[in-house]
Amino acid sequence: MRLAKYLAHAGVASRRASEELVRAGRVTVGASVVRDPAWPVDASSQEVSLDGSPVLAPAGWVVYALNKPPGVVSTARDPQGRPTVVDLVASDRRLYPVGRLDIDTTGLILLTDDGELAHRLTHPRYEVPKTYRALVGNPPVRESALEALRGGVELEDGITSRARVRRLAADVVEITIHEGRKRQVKRMCDAVGHPVIGLVRVSIGPVELGDLGPGEVRQLTEEQVDHLKRIGELHPHM
């Protein structure tokens, strides 16, 4: 593990702040001062210290699933003082949300201290599917609108990729996408004449919202985390 990542995962500071600590000469590995944030660290055989005090080896990564309520922002901190998704998870880890949901959108969001996993789940090249259920206006949603959503619709930032779409009720559609454009599902529905009234995310890859109530949290099992890590591993989209 790189030295700055080790410090950040141990809760010393953010990754960027940890890099500055290393460059300032405040970190030692064994008996030597190290100024390279990318210096490889083997926690099983090397002691890392900050200003002379040992930094305990970080524990394994964690991933939490949260049912985000409306009115909560999908960031670690909010300058306007609004409640954040991190506020809802009782953990002493430095957690970060994986991707975002609009403040009025509810449903599944993941939080983790594993930066590499967060990157894999949010980067478009890995095509991680995310499924949403949308309550829309101007019902009923006809087959022509469903076909347009499936085939790709023209937005101001380009045509969307193909999506899996099914109608659950006259005014409810389920949409699975693998892109991560801002407000994408809402804009797609607007484009076919059905503005979104309510939106909930029900799954990310193999992880489903299930019976989590609004504001409730569960920690993913090792098996679920391993499954997430395998997404796109063999054949990422280039």
Active-site residues, by number, are 102
Euclidean distance between CA atoms 5 and 22, whole angstroms: 11
**Residue 146 three-state SS:** helix
172 backbone dihedrals φ, ψ, rounded to 5°: -130, 125
Which residue type sits at 221? T
The single residue listed with the structure tokens 């990754």 is: 15
Collect all residues with Cβ–Cβ distance below 8 Å to 78 and sequence separation of at least 6: 84
Give the containing element (helix H, strand E) for 148: helix 143-151
- The Cα-based distances of 84 to 62, 70, 87, 158, 171 in angstroms read 18, 11, 5, 31, 30
The secondary structure of 70-137 as a DSSP string is TT-BSSS--TT---BTGGGS--SS--EEES---TT-EEEEEEES-HHHHHHHH-GGG---EEEEEEES
Cα torsion angle, 113, 117, 122, 128, sign? negative
Closest of 164, 166, 168, 191 to residue 178, by C-alpha: 164
Closest of 134, 145, 141, 206 to residue 174, by C-alpha: 134
